[in-house]
Amino acid sequence: MAIFKGAGVALVTPMNEDETVNYDKLDELIEWHIAEGTDCIVICGTSGESATLSEEEHIATISHCVETVNHRIPVVAGTGSNSTKTAIYLSTEAEKAGVDGLLVVTPYYNKATQAGLIRHYTEVSESVHTPIIMYNVPSRTGCNILPETAAYLGKNVKNIVAIKAASGNLSQIAKTKSLAGDALDIYSGNDDQVVPIMSLGGLGVISVLSNVAPGYTHEMCWKYLNGDTKGSCAMQLNAIDLIDSLFCEVNPIPVKVALNMMGKEVGPLRGPLYGMGSEADTERLRKSLIDFGIKVK
């Protein structure tokens, strides 16, 4: 059984001005997403600035999210690391907190071999009982889960059940699905490829767009799942300009700026990520939000 279907939000981590985690604002965001129809909360992923959260903050943020959601929709926690031991530690702590799934990114910087990836994911899996979504995003990690490796893990490792596919390579994603079959669910990791990946058997998206347009992203996915391919495709194409603007600089810089423009007051980013690098990109983002029908300050 799939962890979720539809639109999971890769939720930002709201910060106070001193860059501590703003748990009150986190509660507000979670309640908004549930009201808007978001199908799953993905906490402490890339968009949640997991790389600059301390281990203590990481675990506390996951635990707080699980308590706030209180079983109303699934919660998936980002627990990946470039260290297998750290990934195991974060995964076991997230499991204790009661998450419904774990999102485990490929080890970054180390550039593991395919054999190394198999061992890494197997060791993480053996440490927990919670279902695992592998996260393949080679543009950020320098490490690519090849289709043969993904299929092997889905078929042979007990609780590896899905992959968040963010390689941008539709041919690779198609081959992964062809080799893995029903052994591995697929979620789009790119907002501009949701419908194409669902056409290859994907179940939905783990989405940055959902941060600013949660109801829209949910509807786009469920139109497809309910058989309205044409309507879903039209929504995908209509959102392309906003999606491009949300990635005009490295994620999650634009999405946090966008949420602040919308009055959500999610606070600053943590270094080495700061604000938008140019006024032109800021204005592009503002215009895209307005053109999409989103009110900004």
Told to judge if 164 belongs to the known catalytic residues of this protein, a careful annotator would answer yes
Q: Which of 135, 152, 216, 224 is catalytic?
A: 135
Sign for the CA dihedral angle at 147, 51, 125, 188 comes to: negative
Beta bridge partners of 187: 164, 204
Tokens of 106: 């490929």
Q: Which of 5, 25, 164, 223 is catalytic?
A: 164
C-alpha to C-alpha distance for 113 and 177, rounded to whole angstroms? 21
Beta bridge partners of 40: 8
Show which residues are catalytic.
Answer: 135, 164
